[in-house]
Amino acid sequence: MFRSVATLGSRSLARPLATHASAAAAAATRHTWRKEEIQKIYDTPLLDLIFRAASIHRKHHDPSKVQLCTLMNIKTGGCSEDCAYCSQSSRYSTPTKASKLVDVEPVLEEARKAKANGSTRFCMGAAWRDLSGRKRGFEKILHMVREVRGMGMEVCTTLGMLTPEQARQLKEAGLTAYNHNLDTSREFYPQVITTRSFDERLQTIEAVREAGISVCSGGILGLGESDSDRVGLIWEVASMPEHPESFPVNALVPIAGTPLENNEPVRYHTLLRTIATARIVMPTTIIRLAAGRNELTDSEQAMCFMAGANAVFTGEKMLTTPCSPWDEDKAMMDRWGLEGMQSFEQKRLADKEPSLPEFADVAQS
Ligand code: SF4
């Protein structure tokens, strides 16, 4: 039901049927969820929950497709913020050493390598609070964004807090998506970060959305939060004027020297419940299995895909934590009959790229 394949220029695009998919998505996308409703979904017996999530997933996504994204740290460590899970905060004594913003060419080299290995989204992360006082650095990043976008890849950045003007400049440079995680519920947030508020995070997300950039915003499990905090996180993003285009689900990788170094690993069934609940509540969102995935077996990952996850980070490294390498991911995906998404295969992304002539044609179909 969900794919029509349009060959446009040199690219073959598997795309949803615009009118049908739009109507179904609009009917299914609710922004008025009550926390109790989400909690009830979250508390469903696990296999029923996964069955329901898998059914919804199949109505809105091609279940054989997984988006492959590669993440590069373009400025490591030395961050002034106090995120209790992060090895890049200058407040904690961790093995991560601070470095300067990377030059443009090595970044483009990594993006080319990622593309050659099948990744269709390239994300660049910088460890800092915001861009104030970083005019030249920001210009360099805008250059990177233009170049990576010019390779035909979806391009994402995570650069801390943004002003509306900075978001506008990123959009103009061709940015596809901006990652700014809420991390956890509003209630639990102050136990994790004190140097910027939950509302400041929401303001950056609003600036990104208003600039016409897709929002990538999710959370981290294993911070010490409760089930109701996980429900609260999903409620918060599902209550936004647009559901995030992408919802990353990270499992904490405890880092020596951080305040959370001794946290217990999140239980696998909690990860599954969170993925499945997010899939049901935000049916058109890409659910991104992020940090901690390399700790999961193939079969555990397969169950995550069944529960609605449809994106992974792949490559040599995430920001500071290990990543599953491309060859292992390719082998796993072959075993499970999965394949990588094309760039801009998602209708929601293509709709935000009106300047691309190929998408302008398809959007009218
Ligand atoms: S998560 Fe980001 S903002 Fe927080 S300490 Fe780490 S690099 Fe800084």
Which H/E stretch holds residue 121?
A: strand 121-126
Q: Is the pLDDT of residue 316 over 80?
A: no
Q: Is the pLDDT of residue 13 over 60?
A: no
For 14-42, the pLDDT digits (tens) are 334 333 455 556 656 889 999 999 999 99
For 100-116, the pLDDT digits (tens) are 999 999 999 999 999 99
Residue ranges of domains in the chain = 41-346
Residue 5, classed as helix, strand or coil, is strand
Catalytic residue at 123? yes
Rounded Cα gap, residues 211 and 245, in angstroms = 14
Least confident of 102-106, 130-134, 188-192, 318-322: 318-322
Whole-number Cα distances in Å, 133 to 92, 99, 129, 140, 253 = 24, 17, 11, 14, 31
Ligand 1 pocket test, pick from 83, 201, 320 with the greatest ligand atom count within 8 Å of Cβ, gives 83
Helices (H), the chain: 18-28, 35-42, 46-60, 104-116, 135-150, 164-173, 198-210, 227-238, 268-281, 298-306, 326-336, 347-351, 357-363
How many Å lie between the centroid of ligand 1 and the Cα of residue 79? 6
Q: At what angle do helices 46-60 and 18-28 cross, to 10 degrees?
A: 140
Catalytic residue at 86? yes
Average of pLDDT values for 280-287?
96
Instruction: Determine the pLDDT at residue 200.
Output: 96
Residue 309, classed as helix, strand or coil, is strand
Residue owning the nearest CA to atom 2 of ligand 1:
127
- pTM recorded for the entire structure: 0.88
Domain 41-346 has CATH 3.20.20.70: yes
Residue 250, classed as helix, strand or coil, is strand
Ligand 1 atom closest to the Cα of residue 80 is 8
Average of pLDDT values for 45-55?
97
Q: Is 86 annotated as a binding residue?
A: yes
Instruction: Determine the pLDDT at residue 350.
Output: 82
Q: Is 193 exposed, middle or buried (0-12, 13-18, 19+ CB in 10 A)?
A: buried
CB atoms near residue 186 (< 10 Å): 17
Residue owning the nearest CA to atom 7 of ligand 1:
127
CA 328 to chain centroid, in Å, comes to 21
Residues 6+ apart with CB under 8 A from 120: 67, 68, 69, 153, 154, 340, 341, 342, 343, 345
Cβ of 88 closer than 6 Å to ligand 1, yes or no, is yes
Rounded Cα gap, residues 79 and 88, in angstroms = 6
Return the closest-CA partner of residue 28 out of 58, 5, 7: 58
Location of structure tokens 């509306």: 164
How many Å lie between the centroid of ligand 1 and the Cα of residue 358? 37
How many Å lie between the centroid of ligand 1 and the Cα of residue 209? 21
Q: Is 197 left (phi over 0), alpha (psi -120 to 50) or beta?
A: beta
69, 123, 304, 323: the catalytic one is 123
Ligand 1 pocket test, pick from 88, 92, 181, 182 with the greatest ligand atom count within 8 Å of Cβ, gives 88
